[in-house]
Amino acid sequence: MARPAPLIELPPEPRTVLEGLARSRETAHSLVQRAQIVLRAADGER
């Protein structure tokens, strides 16, 4: 059984940067995906 993921606290400035990357159409797809994963984890998703 997997252990629960640690809580990620994301301050406002890095969150803004990650949100911009997650919406970007000019950034590499892999970086967009990573930004989306971090944002979802910060929002409590597993």
What is the predicted pLDDT for the residue at 35? 97
pLDDT over 80 (residue 29): yes
What is the predicted pLDDT for the residue at 11? 96
Neighbours of 34 (CB within 10 A): 14
Domain assignment present for 1: no
Domains in the chain, number: 1
Whether the full predicted model's pTM is greater than 0.85, yes or no, is no
pLDDT confidence band for 5 (50 / 70 / 90): confident
Full residue range of the structural domain in which residue 31 is found: 12-43
**To which residue do tokens 């929002």 refer?**
43
Number of H helices, E strands in the chain: 2, 0
Domain assignment present for 19: yes
Are the C-beta atoms of 20 and 26 separated by less than 8 Å?
A: no
Domain assignment present for 29: yes
DSSP H or E segment with residue 3: none
Are the C-beta atoms of 21 and 31 separated by less than 8 Å?
A: yes
Domain assignment present for 6: no
Is 8 or 31 the better-scoring residue by pLDDT? Answer: 31
Give the mean pLDDT of 32-39. 96
